[in-house]
Amino acid sequence: MSPLEEASSIVHRIPGTTAWTLEVIDNRQISTSLRQLTLGGSLVGSVSYRSGQDIMVNVPIPGNTDRSVRRRYTIRRSDPIRDSIDLQILLDSNGPGASWARDATPGDTVEAIGPRGKIFLDPAAEWHLLIGDRCAVPNTAVMVESVDPSTPCMVAVAGFDPRIALDREMTAPVTATPTPTGSGGSEIGQSATDTALPPQVQFFDVPMSQDPELQCKLLLRALGEIPLPEGPGRVYANGELKLVAAARDQLLSIGVEPAQITTKAYWRRGLPNAERGEPEKS
Ligand SMILES: Cc1cc2nc3c(=O)[nH]c(=O)nc-3n(C[C@H](O)[C@H](O)[C@H](O)COP(=O)(O)OP(=O)(O)OC[C@H]3O[C@@H](n4cnc5c(N)ncnc54)[C@H](O)[C@@H]3O)c2cc1C
């Protein structure tokens, strides 16, 4: 099947998706290991998507001009006037996705399909808890920006700096006080500003580690210190396969119901994602 035939078969199978040919408009480093790519054209900036959805891009396999793989990235924001969307991509993996993010140059063409993804904030939830590793930073930022002001929301994501991960358009007064930043520091930039934070959002520090096993332990420890409110809330865990599974187990062990927990594996330790952009489950 040609790449074009394959794209149209995916669009046919996944309702609401479109196949685009986009152009790289901008590629900038926004922290030591995170790049922001702006892709434009084909009315992508006007696409209707829900907070937390992603697009699947075709990225080349370094050293192999005949083949490409698909990788999924959260739509960080869109701009209908500029006809563009922004993606934020972590460079930690050194796989084809990270190589593409590092090397993409304005003018490059990119085949993409989207919007994809079915995990949204539950409007009926009485509280939200967003947890994850560094890959989850863009998704968490989008989700936090869309939390209803009357619903408490807790965030424990490695490397998430609330002061600058959020869009500056946000105007709510600063009342949430993040716990002191630990040794890991933040993923998004170094120069924190006083960007206003949504008052209903509470941030919990998760120190960063390059070691996936240690990162998992650090997240679980932070998770154990979060006082969960009463009532039916929802937990959303995004990141490495074993990390999200371990977080789910820990939550179940303290009485959170299975239906309250949504996990999404973004990647898997020691294994490249499959060609369709998801980690292999077995
Ligand atoms: C729905 C969805 C949304 C996503 N959104 C984003 C997003 O907004 N931003 C983002 O950066 N990523 C996001 N991801 C993850 C992204 O799709 C890729 O998994 C990631 O970019 C790695 O791809 P790769 O081709 O570089 O590496 P791969 O070829 O998949 O892996 C190469 C090697 O690197 C390792 N590896 C992979 N990821 C990491 C990591 N984070 N840290 C350390 N080692 C790693 C693998 O275990 C493997 O050994 C998302 C994934 C999904 C499923």
pLDDT digits (tens, 9 = 90+) for 11-62: 999 989 999 999 999 999 988 788 999 999 999 999 999 999 999 999 999 9
Residue 176 has pLDDT above 50, yes or no: no
**How many CB atoms within 10 Å of residue 7?**
22
- What is the whole-number distance in angstroms between the Cα of residue 35 and the centre of ligand 1? 13
Give the least confident one: 30-39, 78-87, 126-135, 170-179: 170-179
- Closest C-alpha to ligand 1, atom 51: 266
Give the mean pLDDT of the chain. 88
Q: How far is the CA of 241 from the centre of ligand 1 (A)?
A: 11
Residue 250 pLDDT greater than 50, yes or no: yes
- Whose C-alpha lies nearest to ligand 1, atom 20? 97
Residue 175 has pLDDT above 70, yes or no: no
Same domain membership, residue 30 and residue 148 = no
| pLDDT computed for residue 209 by the predictor | 93
Residue 261 in this model has a pLDDT that exceeds 80: yes
Domain boundary among 96, 116, 136: 116
User: Is the model's pLDDT at 171 over the cut of 70?
Assistant: no
- Residue 179 pLDDT: 39
Identify whether 64 is part of a domain: yes
- Cβ of residue 163 lying under 6 Å from some atom of ligand 1: no
pLDDT band for position 193 (cuts 50, 70, 90): very low
Structure-block tokens of residue 32: 């030591």
Looking up residue 34, the CATH number of its domain turns out to be 2.40.30.10
* CB 98 less than 6 A from any atom of ligand 1: yes
Evaluate whether residue 121 is within a structural domain.
no
Q: Is 138 in the pocket of ligand 1 (CB under 6 A)?
A: yes
Record the tokens describing residue 64, joined without a space: 């192999």
User: Are 104 and 171 within one domain?
Assistant: no
Tell me which of 197 and 234 has the higher pLDDT. Answer: 234
What was the pLDDT predicted at 282?
84
Which of 69, 91, 120, 273 has most ligand 1 atoms within 8 Å of CB, for mutation? 273
In a domain, 198, yes or no: yes
Mutational pocket test of ligand 1: of 266, 276, 281, the residue with most ligand atoms within 8 Å of the beta carbon:
266
pLDDT class of 272 with cuts at 50, 70, 90: very high
202 or 32: which leads in pLDDT:
202
Q: Per residue in 84-130, pLDDT tens?
A: 999 999 999 989 999 999 999 999 999 999 999 999 999 999 999 99
As a whole number, mean pLDDT of residues 214-237 equals 97
Main-chain phi, psi angles of 240, to 5 degrees: -65, 145
Residues 92, 102: Cα–Cα separation, whole Å = 11
Position 5 scores a pLDDT of 81
Q: Are residues 41 and 75 in the same domain?
A: yes
- The alpha carbon of 149 and the centre of ligand 1 are apart by a number of angstroms equal to 31
Q: Given a cut of 60, is residue 246 above it in pLDDT?
A: yes
Instruction: Give the model's pLDDT for residue 157.
Output: 96
pTM for this model (two decimals): 0.91
Q: Distance between CA atoms of 115 and 73, rounded to whole angstroms?
A: 10
For ligand 1, whether the C-beta of 187 sits within 6 Å is no
Distance 240 CA to ligand 1 centre (A): 9
In ligand 1, the atom with minimum distance to the C-alpha of 277 is 17
Our answer on whether the CB atom of 76 is closer than 6 Å to any ligand 1 atom is: no
Question: Do 109 and 184 sit in the same domain of this protein?
Answer: no
Pocket of ligand 1 contains residue 117 by CB under 6 Å: yes
How far lies 43's CA from each of 11, 58, 64, 113, 265, in Å?
17, 18, 30, 13, 30
159 and 252 share a domain?
Answer: yes
Q: Are residues 235 and 206 in the same domain?
A: yes
Confirm if 204 and 179 have CB atoms less than 8 A apart: yes
Q: Find the 107 Cα to ligand 1 centroid distance in Å.
A: 24
Q: CA angle, corner 56, sides to 102 and 68, nearest 5?
A: 65
In this structure, are 103 and 142 located in the same domain? Answer: no
Tokens representing residue 184 in the block: 């890991």
Task: Give the pLDDT band (50/70/90) at residue 167.
Answer: low
Give the residue numbers spanning the domain of 46: 3-116
Contacts of 181 (CB under 8 A, 6+ apart): 161, 205
**Overall number of domains in the chain:** 2
Residue 7 lies inside a defined structural domain of this protein: yes
pLDDT bin (cut points 50, 70, 90) of residue 166 is confident
Which residue from 178, 199, 200 is spatially nearest to 125, judged by alpha carbons? Answer: 200
> Could you count the other beta carbons within 10 Å of the beta carbon of residue 249?
11
For residue 79, which of 26, 136, 4 has the smallest C-alpha distance? 26
